[in-house]
With several copies, the nearest count.
Chain A
Amino acid sequence: MPKPTCQDVSVLRITPHGPEGLSHGLWLIELENPGWQAVRPGQFAMLRPTAWGFEPLWARPFSICRATPERLAFLIQAVGRGTRLLTGLKQGDTVTVWGPLGHAFNTEPGVRTLMLAGGVGIAPFVEYSAAHPTPSNLTLLFGHRPPLSCYPYEDITRLAAASAFRETSPQDIPLFVARIEEAMADHAGGLALACGPTPFLRTVRNAALKLGVRCQLSLENRMACGIGACLGCVATDSEGHHVQSCTRGPVFWANEITL
Chain B
Amino acid sequence: MDQSVSLAGLNLKNPVMTASGTFGYGLEFTPYGDLAALGGIVVKGLSLKPREGNPMPRIAETPSGMLNAIGLQNCGVERFLSDKLPRLPWKATPILANLYACDPDEFGELAGVLAAEEGVAALEVNISCPNVKEGGVLFGQDPSQAAKVTEAVKKRCGSKPVMVKLSPNVADIVGIARAVEAAGADCLSLINTLTGMAVDVRTRKPRLANVVGGLSGPAVKPVALRCVWQVSRAVNIPVVGMGGISSAMDVLEFILVGAHAVQVGTANFTRPDFAFRLVEELPQVAASMGVTDWESFRGSLDVG
Direct contact of A and B (CB under 8 A): yes
- CB of A57 within 8 A of CB of B61, answer yes
User: Of all chain B residues, which has the CB nearest A54?
Assistant: B218
- CB of A222 within 8 A of CB of B59, answer yes
How many residues from A make CB contacts under 8 Å with B?
Answer: 30
Summarize B's interface: helix, strand, loop or mixed: loop
Q: What chain A residues lie within 8 Å of B266 (beta carbons)?
A: 57
- CB of A6 within 8 A of CB of B272, answer yes
- CB of B24 within 8 A of CB of A229, answer yes
B57 within 8 A of A: yes
- CB of B271 within 8 A of CB of A229, answer no
- CB of A54 within 8 A of CB of B56, answer no
Q: What chain A residues lie within 8 Å of B58 (beta carbons)?
A: 231-232, 234
Q: Which residue of B31, B53, B270, B271 contacts A231 across the interface (Cβ within 8 Å)? A: B53
Taken together as a complex, chains A and B put the C-alpha atoms of A229 and B22 apart, in Å, by 6
- CB of A54 within 8 A of CB of B59, answer no
Q: What chain B residues lie within 8 Å of A48 (beta carbons)?
A: 270-271
CB contacts under 8 Å to A, within B52-107, are 52-53, 56-59, 61, 63-66, 68, 70, 73
- CB of A224 within 8 A of CB of B59, answer yes
- CB of A59 within 8 A of CB of B271, answer yes
Q: What chain A residues lie within 8 Å of B246 (beta carbons)?
A: 54
User: Of all chain A residues, which has the CB nearest B25?
Assistant: A229
Q: Which of B21, B53, B64, B272 has the most CB of A within 10 A?
A: B272
- CB of A57 within 8 A of CB of B271, answer no
B254 within 8 A of A: no
Q: What chain A residues lie within 8 Å of B217 (beta carbons)?
A: 54, 57
Taken together as a complex, chains A and B put the C-alpha atoms of A161 and B100 apart, in Å, by 54
User: Of all chain A residues, which has the CB nearest B27?
Assistant: A228
Taken together as a complex, chains A and B put the C-alpha atoms of A234 and B56 apart, in Å, by 7
B294 within 8 A of A: no
A221 within 8 A of B: yes
B169 within 8 A of A: no
- CB of B63 within 8 A of CB of A55, answer yes
Taken together as a complex, chains A and B put the C-alpha atoms of A54 and B264 apart, in Å, by 14
B23 within 8 A of A: yes
CB contacts under 8 Å to A, within B249-304, are 266-273
Q: What chain B residues lie within 8 Å of A232 (beta carbons)?
A: 57-59, 68, 70
A58 within 8 A of B: yes
A83 within 8 A of B: no
Taking residues whose C-beta sits less than 8 angstroms from the other chain, chain B's interface range is 20 to 34
Q: What chain B residues lie within 8 Å of A131 (beta carbons)?
A: none
A157 within 8 A of B: no
Taken together as a complex, chains A and B put the C-alpha atoms of A241 and B23 apart, in Å, by 21
Q: What chain B residues lie within 8 Å of A231 (beta carbons)?
A: 21, 44, 53, 58, 70, 73
Q: Which residue of A3, A98, A221 contacts B271 across the interface (Cβ within 8 Å)? A: A98
Taken together as a complex, chains A and B put the C-alpha atoms of A221 and B273 apart, in Å, by 23
Q: What chain B residues lie within 8 Å of A224 (beta carbons)?
A: 59, 66, 269
Q: Which residue of A55, A57, A234, A247 contacts B269 across the interface (Cβ within 8 Å)? A: A57
- CB of A228 within 8 A of CB of B28, answer yes
- CB of B64 within 8 A of CB of A242, answer no
CB contacts under 8 Å to B, within A209-254, are 221-222, 224-232, 234, 240-242, 247
Given A98-B272, A232-B58, A242-B53: A57 touches B65 (CB 8 Å cut-off): yes
- CB of B52 within 8 A of CB of A241, answer yes
| Contact mask for chain A residues 41-83; partner B; CB cutoff 8 A; 1 contact, 0 none | 0000000100001111111000000000000000000000000
Q: Which residue of A3, A6, A57 contacts B273 across the interface (Cβ within 8 Å)? A: A6
A4 within 8 A of B: yes
Q: What chain A residues lie within 8 Å of B53 (beta carbons)?
A: 231, 234, 242
- CB of B65 within 8 A of CB of A5, answer no
- CB of B64 within 8 A of CB of A57, answer yes
A96 within 8 A of B: yes
A2 to chain B, nearest CB (A): 9
Q: What chain A residues lie within 8 Å of B272 (beta carbons)?
A: 6, 98, 225-227, 229
Given A54-B217, A234-B58: A229 touches B64 (CB 8 Å cut-off): no
Given A48-B271, A58-B269: A230 touches B61 (CB 8 Å cut-off): no
Q: Which residue of A57, A98, A247 contacts B32 across the interface (Cβ within 8 Å)? A: A98
Q: Which of A98, A234, A247 has the most CB of B within 10 A?
A: A234
- CB of A5 within 8 A of CB of B56, answer no
| Contact mask for chain B residues 189-214; partner A; CB cutoff 8 A; 1 contact, 0 none | 00000000000000000000000000
- Identify 28 residue pairs between A and B in the complex whose beta-carbon atoms are under 8 Å apart, listed by A's number: A54-B63, A54-B64, A54-B218, A55-B218, A57-B269, A58-B269, A58-B270, A59-B271, A98-B271, A98-B272, A221-B56, A224-B59, A225-B28, A225-B269, A225-B272, A227-B272, A228-B28, A229-B23, A229-B28, A229-B29, A229-B272, A230-B70, A230-B269, A231-B73, A232-B68, A234-B56, A234-B73, A240-B52
Q: Interface residues, chain A, CB within 8 Å of chain B? A: 3-6, 48, 53-59, 96, 98, 221-222, 224-232, 234, 240-242, 247
List 4 tightest A-B contacts by C-beta distance, closest first: A232-B59, A229-B24, A3-B31, A224-B269
